Each structure stands twice: as C-alpha cells, then as structure tokens.
Chains A and B, each alone.
Chain A
C-alpha cells in the first residue's frame, strides 16, 4: 500500500460537524439501494433488475454517533464506464473522494466482487466490503471464510442480508475501521509502464487508478480530476498513448487478467462449496420463463392477469364503487349540500361543486377514477419489478425490439413506461448509445400509455367488445412500430448488441412492495391532485368567460371534422397536456354519459394515447435529451396523434368496421 503522501484536495479529517461521506458502490442489482435505505431511514426505489438506480442519490444517516452523508450510486461492473449510469458512479468516486466506500456485493459472485475490489483498491479510498444476499449464497451452498478474506484484503468484511436487516449493525460498527485495500500486483509490463507514466496527474491516492485508466485508453478520467494541472494531464495523456503502443496485448486485458488471476486465487482460499439448491418450482419457472413457447405463454398470462386485475377489477368494479357509490351517492351530494349552505356566492358554489367544480370534477377524477386504478397498477407492477421477471422479458423480446432499432434492454424502460413515462424516461440512461436513448424516449412519448392513462383506457374498453380492443391495440401498436422503424432508419448511429444480466427469480417481499406502493401513491397524490385542481379551475374560468365554447369551435375542424368526435372532447385533449390520465378521465366520463359511440371511443382513445407527453415527462425529456430534442419529439408526437386518429376515423367509416 502506498502512504498518503500528496493529497491534493483531501477533506478535513474527522469532520464531526459536516459529517463524512459514505459511498455505496457495487455491481448492478446487488442491493445497494436496500443498504442505502437501511442506513439513512429514507426510501429509494428497490427492484430486482439491474439499473433501477440510474443517478446518484444522497441521504443523511446517523451512524456511530456521527451523522454521515450516504451516497447511493448506480451499479458498475468495472470502473471503466460503459454507459451513462456507470459513468456517474466512476465520476463521483474520483471527483468527490468519499471518506468511506462500502462495496456492496453479491455474496454468491465472489470472483467478480473481488475484481471490483481490486479496482477500488487502486482508487485508494478507505473501504469496507459488505457481502450482501449472503442467505442466497448459503442456500446455493457457498461458504465464505470472512475473517480470512478480511485479512487478505486488509479491510473489514461483513456478511449481510440487507432486505432483512441482518448484518447492518455490524456493518455500521465497521465503518470506523475502514481501510485502503491491499493492491493487486499486475504483470511486469503494466507495473513498469505505470512507473514510467509518473508523475501522473495530481490525483493523490488515485494515481494508480488514473494511471491504469490512461494506459487502458480511458481518457475520460482526466475530466474527473478537479485539482489536476491541465498541462501535466496533457503530458500524461501523450505519454500514455506512447506507452500503449509498446504493448503487444492491450493493457486493459493485462489488468483484467491480473485482477482475475488474483481473484480466483483468493476465492480458492476463502470459499468452500457444498451441495444445495433453491426451491424446485422456482428453478423450473426460472428455466422456462425465457424459452420459446412457455416463455411467450407466461408473458401473455402476465398481460392477462394485468388486464383482469387492473382493467376489470380496479378500473371496472373499483372505480364503479368509488365513483358511483362513494362519491356519487355520498360524498358529492354531501359536499354540494354543505357548499350550498355555507357559501353564499353562486360563482364560488359552481367553482367548488358545479359541472367543472374542484370537488365534483377534480377530486372525483383524481380520487374516484384514477386513484383505484393506479393503486392496482402499482401493486401489480411492484410484484413484477421485484420478481426479476423484467430482464427475462428483455431476453424474450430482444428480436422484436430490433425492428425499431433497439435491443432487448429497452424492454425495461418501455415496461416501466407502463407505470410512469416520466420515471421511464429517466431509466433510458441504462441504454448504451445516444441513438437508443433518443429512440426509446420518443417511443415512450408516443406509444406507451402510463399506468393511470392505461387503467382509464382499460376501464373504458372493458365496457365494450373485443373488436374495440383489437382496433385500439392495432392502431397504437402499429403506429409505434412504424414510427420506431422509420426513426431508427433516419437517426444516425447503430444499435448496440444485446447483453443482459439475468437476476434470479425471487418471491417479492410484501414489505418492500407495500412500501413501494405507499411511496408511489403519495407521489401520485402530491403531483396529480394539485394539477387536476389547477386544470379544473382553469376549465371553470374558461367556461365562465366563454372561452371554452370558442376553443371548442376553434378546434372543431380537428375534433369534429377530422376525428369525427363531439366538440366537447376538445377540452379532454387540452387537459391531456397537463396529465395523460386527466384527458383520458375526461373521455371516461363522456363515454359513461353515452356521448360517444364505438367508433368515436376508439378514435378518441387512440388519439389520446398517442397524444403529447404530460408536463412532468416533458420537463424530464428536456433535462435528459435537451430542449431541442424534447420539442422536436413533442411536435412529432402531436402531429402523429391527430394524423393517425383522423386516418383511423376515415378507415373505420369506410370499412364500417365499427
């Protein structure tokens, strides 16, 4: 180990007041976020697929009588970043130099764990190793001699089962013993090149890491050294390029091989294996879930369950009870009576309980129609996320996704889009190329209805026949495929190859599911209800000053002539700008009133499904893809929605299909 000689920008030691920083680092899907939640008492989303965390998250935890800033990072396979989320983790480690790194690891993948430990050792940060999911490792027959491992690495090693809270106290107690891990000696070629590369850019304890990165051709590291002298950095870059040329085999391979050989040796010393197995049925399901016919059957079955659970049970019976019984018979009449009695002004009365009343419209929409639907959806979705099924779906659908210029990995943001397009737009970061991220963002905006909207749509269609369903699905699916196909041909760049780690299938933990639903529902209520109220208020005022009628007349060429819809639908589309589900909920009540026939229902639903991103999604698009791309995508989607709606209307009228 090198001594701490030249720290360019070390933090003041033992900051009692402004706590130290702990970074959680590790492979994807090993439970960093669970540990984060346990250490900070806060909540970030936890699921069973790689790439749930795409950005750095910070929280405060009181550990060992001191308060620490705890940093959760996206999963990394190595510290040579290959995607945006991995880049975020590497940058954080180099830029911020946290006081302690907790490497959270999958106990059953010890070799890969140790290879990352070796990279972290080169980084020279004090660290602790948490062998998480040690129950899963035990159940597969792996036993690890933790004390011996700790001795070899020179750092504390703890076994944990973070989801159950096991080993967490021990982990906290270890933090004060965090140490720089013993470094791996690489082959002579690498070691001598490292010596010749010096003096490397001022990166303090990370000199070795930075040197290795430069030799491996990863020049991005220089951007992460806030205190480096640009001239020295430039010199090191040039030297590294020269040194690289002398290698017969690429330096990155030699480094990898060195780490691997070392890791295998250590694994041999500390790990023993006895025979053991997982529950038989789970293994069988695991095996069949990705294979041809049974795999597709399982996917279709999952969809069917979703339809019955969300569409029929929640959107049908649940909404029926909430809207017609609870709100229709009890709450709304009571509210109307109270308001009429307590509020003297008829203007204010109408504002609260009139046709466009905050209670009778906004709250009824938000709480009676959308709320039961999203609750059911979040429940279904939470189970899906935690089971580990999504990566399997990726493997099943890889070939289909290639048609639209993506690969199976994009299944994850797309399916997440069925939950919430805003969150899904963030998760497109897990995709490997800029082109794929752009394509996925566009397809999310165009063809993927979010849970609230989808639920409302299911609620409307569930009351109609199979034919309406089929036409809606074909129109939305066909448009999405066609747009994706065309865009993938137009946008420059290539599809990246499909490689996906498949986590084991697990039975979802009820505790985590309930917590997840709670967090998401609170978020829904906080975000959606005020927007619903705001929109309704605007609608009420527009109605009062007569603008609404004029807008309806103004939009009539589009709604009435092109789409063949009643002019009242204009305001549904206007509300669709605020939230996707709001527009759909408007159509829901119009359909209930019998104001729409079959063809109009299908045309309006297709148009509203394809229609604009909601406000929140638009803002995330601007943040992630830039204002230009966001505006361009929105304009394209807007035009497509109406064009397809109009064409569908003509087609249905012509063929007399509906």
Chain B
C-alpha cells in the first residue's frame, strides 16, 4: 500500500509556458523584442502554438511587432528565470557538476522549485546576483530584505569577523586536490570554524586543528554565521 503523500505534478503545458516566458525574458535582457526571432526560437524547443497561448492568457502583449509582458507575465517570467539561474548556481557552487549536467538539471528544476525552496536556496547561496554564465539573477523578496539588513546568513570565511565563528556551509574550489586537503584538515561542511585572524594570513580553528590559509582560498569557503 502506498503510504506517502500524493505528489502533484504540473501539467506539461504549464511547463511549456514557463519555458517560453523564460525565453522571452532572455530576449528582453539582450534588448531584442522582435516577434519573429522569438517565435523561431520557440518553435525549436517547445510547440509553436505556445506563443499564441501566452497571448490569449494575457501574459504577453504585442505592440507594433514588439513583444512585451503584462504585469502577471512579467512576474511569472522573472520567477522562472530566477529559479533556473539559482539552480545553476547551486549545481556549480555546491555540487561541483560539469557544464553538460548543469543545463539539463537546471531546466527541470526551474519548474519544480516551490517559492519556499527558492528562497532557501537563495539564502544558502548568499543571495547571488549572477548565474554561472554571468547573466543577472532577478532578485527575490529575500534578496531585497537581505540588502536592507546588509547582512547575510551565509558569508565567505574571509568576511567573518575575527573572533567569531560559523558552520562551514560549502566549499567551492575548482581544484580537487585543494578541496581534499581542506576537507582532510577538518574544514568539512557542517563543521564549526572560528576565525582567529585575517592578516597577514587567515588563521582558522576547526576542532583542535589550527589552519593558516591564504585569503583567496577563504573566499571560496562559505560559512553560516553563528549568532554571537
């Protein structure tokens, strides 16, 4: 007997619409509002009639051959783009996946992340502003709040105040051997580190191990600040 909760799945056409809104958002970012170009791109990925459906539903408006969003359309497009690019960051920064698996996963995740999960990921990553490809991640409410407080729960190790401590959230280092060395010294996700000093070298303590490291490395170690 099945004991779990029933999972709700978005209908395929909703996913298609989200996908298409993402494409339009991208075109607007690069300053291209031409209907023909957008239609052509859409016909390669999703079914061509999606574009018309978006118009019927009132998400898109066309004025003098230029494609624009309605308020509702803009909100949906922004959200899907935000989810996609946050997913990319998560896959690159934390899971250290290669370029081919990033696209594949991010394209699926953009449709399934709930608003709560999106906010949690954004917070975990320290409210990043750009995706790994360098384009802007549309900010969410959590980002605005965060900027106002000017303080993030997650920060890089080198931004911790001397004498304070935090829990290692993740290490985002390109080189595997460096990563393994840090892990073997006890700088593992979840472990508590305290920052002893920042200059001339950064010195941290993890458990009973004291480690000196250069600032460049510390920038790639993200920690969740402990409340003082």
CB of B192 to closest CB in A, whole Å: 12
**Set of chain A residues within 8 Å of B207, measured between Cβ atoms:** 109, 111-112
Stretch from B48-56, B107-115, B144-152, B195-203 contacting the other chain? B195-203
Q: In residues 496-526 of chain A, which contact B (Cβ within 8 Å)? A: 496-504
**Interface residues on chain A, number (Cβ under 8 Å):** 43
B181 within 8 A of partner (CB): yes
Residue of B nearest to A81 (CB): B177
CB distance from B227 to the nearest CB of A (A): 22
A497 touches B200 (CB 8 A): no
Are B184 and A78 interface neighbours, CB within 8 A?
A: yes
Contact A501–B200 (Cβ < 8 Å): no
**Docked-complex contact B200 and A112, CB < 8 angstroms:** no
Contact of B201 among A78, A108, A398 (CB under 8 A): A398
> Chain B's nearest CB lies how many Å from the CB of A222?
19
Q: Does A287 contact B (CB under 8 A)?
A: yes
Contact A82 B208 (CB under 8 A): no
Question: With A and B bound together, what is the CA distance between A432 and B178 in angstroms?
Answer: 10
Given contacts A287-B196, A498-B213, contact A408 B201 (CB under 8 A): yes
Q: Does B228 contact A (CB under 8 A)?
A: no
By beta carbon, the residue of chain A nearest B186 is: A112
Question: Could you tell me if A252 and B180 are in contact, using CB atoms closer than 8 angstroms?
Answer: yes
Q: Does A58 reach chain B (CB closer than 8 Å)?
A: no
Question: Would you call A502 and B210 a contact (CB within 8 A)?
Answer: yes
B196, B197, B212, B213 — which one has the most chain A CB atoms within 10 A of its CB?
B212
Please, could you name 7 A-B residue pairs with CB atoms under 8 Å apart, sorted by A? Answer: A77-B185, A109-B186, A112-B185, A249-B95, A291-B199, A399-B200, A501-B185
Interface residue? B216 (CB, 8 A): yes
* A431 → B minimal CB distance (Å): 13
Q: For chain B, what secondary structure do more than half of its interface residues adopt (helix, strand, loop), or is it mixed?
A: mixed
Other contacts beyond A396-B201, A498-B201: 5, CB < 8 A? A78-B180, A260-B188, A394-B212, A497-B214, A499-B178
B184 lies within 8 A of A502 (CB): no
For B185, the chain A residues whose CB sits under 8 A away are 77, 112, 499, 501
Cα distance, A498 to B185, chains bound together (Å) = 13
Within the assembled complex, what's the spacing in Å between the Cα atoms of A115 and B180? 13
> In the complex, which residues of chain A have a beta carbon less than 8 angstroms from the beta carbon of B177?
82, 432
- Listed from nearest, the 10 A-B pairs whose CB atoms lie closest are A395-B212, A77-B184, A395-B201, A502-B210, A498-B214, A108-B208, A500-B212, A78-B184, A499-B213, A398-B201
Instruction: Give the interface size class of chain B.
Output: 20 to 34
CA distance A504 to B181 in the complex (A): 20
Q: What residues of chain B lie closer than 8 Å to A498, measured between beta carbons? A: 201, 212-214, 217
Q: Contact check: which of A106, A140, A396, A502 meets B211 at CB < 8 Å? A: A502
Complex formed: what's the CA distance from A502 to B204 in Å? Answer: 10
Pairwise interchain contact B209-A112, C-beta atoms closer than 8 A:
yes
Known contacts A111-B186, A112-B184; is A500 also within 8 Å of B200 by CB?
Answer: no
Task: Indicate whether B14 reaches chain A with its CB closer than 8 angstroms.
Answer: no
- Interface contact A256-B183, CB-CB below 8 Å: yes
Residues of B within 8 A of A372 (CB): none
Report the Cα distance A623→B98, complex, angstroms. 41
Are B213 and A500 in contact, CB atoms less than 8 angstroms apart? Answer: yes
Q: Which residues of B contact A503 (CB under 8 A)?
A: 210
1/0 per residue, CB under 8 A from A, across B154-186: the answer is 000000000000000000000111101111111
Min CB distance, A457 to chain B, in Å?
A: 29
Chain B residues in contact with chain A, CB under 8 A? 95-97, 175-178, 180-186, 188, 196-197, 199-201, 203, 207-214, 216-217
In the complex, what's the smallest C-beta–C-beta distance from A83 to chain B, in angstroms? Answer: 9
Report Cα–Cα, A497/B179, bound state, in Å: 11
Residues of A within 8 Å of B212, CB to CB, are: 290, 391, 394-395, 398, 408, 498-500, 502
Q: Please, how many angstroms separate the alpha-carbon atoms of A348 and B68 in the complex?
A: 108
Chain B residues near A260: list those with CB within 8 A.
188
Complex Cα distance A111/B184, Å? 10
Cβ contact within 8 Å between A398 and B214: yes
A295 is an interface residue with CB less than 8 A from chain B: yes
Name the distance in Å between A215's Cβ and chain B's nearest Cβ: 14
Asked if A235 is at the interface (CB within 8 A of a chain B CB), the reply is: no
The reply on A567 being an interface residue by CB < 8 A is: no
Q: Contact check: which of B96, B178, B188, B211 meets A501 at CB < 8 Å? A: B211
A503 CA / B212 CA spacing, docked (Å): 10
Q: How far is the CA of A106 from the CA of B199 in the complex (A)?
A: 28
A497 to B209, Cβ gap below 8 A? no
Report the separation of the CA atoms of residues A249 and B186 in the bound assembly, to the nearest whole angstrom: 19
Question: What is the bound-complex CA distance between A229 and B63, given in angstroms?
Answer: 73
Bound-state Cα–Cα, A434 to B183, Å = 23
Does A250 lie at the interface of the complex (its beta carbon under 8 Å from any beta carbon of B)?
A: yes
- Report the bound CA distance from A295 to B208 in whole Å: 22
A248 interfacial contact with B, CB 8 Å: yes
- Tell me whether A12 is interfacial, beta carbon within 8 Å: no
Decide yes or no whether A344 CB sits under 8 A from chain B: no
Given A408-B212, A499-B217, A501-B210: A292 and B199 interface contact (C-beta under 8 Å):
yes
Q: Given the complex, which residues of A lie within 8 Å of B199, measured CB to CB?
A: 291-292
For A233, what are the chain B residues with a Cβ–Cβ distance below 8 Å?
Answer: none
Question: A407 on the interface (CB 8 Å rule)?
Answer: yes
Q: Which residue of B lies closest to A77 (CB)?
A: B184
Tell me the smallest distance from the CB of B219 to a CB of chain A, in Å. Answer: 11
A395 to B215, CA, bound (A): 11
Q: By the criterion CB–CB under 8 Å, are A500 and B211 in contact?
A: yes
A80 on the B face (CB < 8 A): yes
Instruction: Tell me whether A395 and B178 are in contact (CB under 8 A).
Output: no
Given contacts A112-B207, A250-B96, contact A292 B200 (CB under 8 A): yes
Q: Chain A residues near B183: list those with CB within 8 A.
A: 256
In the complex, the answer to whether B209 meets A501 with C-beta atoms within 8 Å is yes
Write the nearest CB–CB distance from A411 to chain B, whole angstroms: 11
Q: Hey, which chain B residues are within 8 Å of A252, CB to CB?
A: 176, 180
Q: Quote the shortest CB–CB distance from B88 to chain A (angstroms).
A: 15
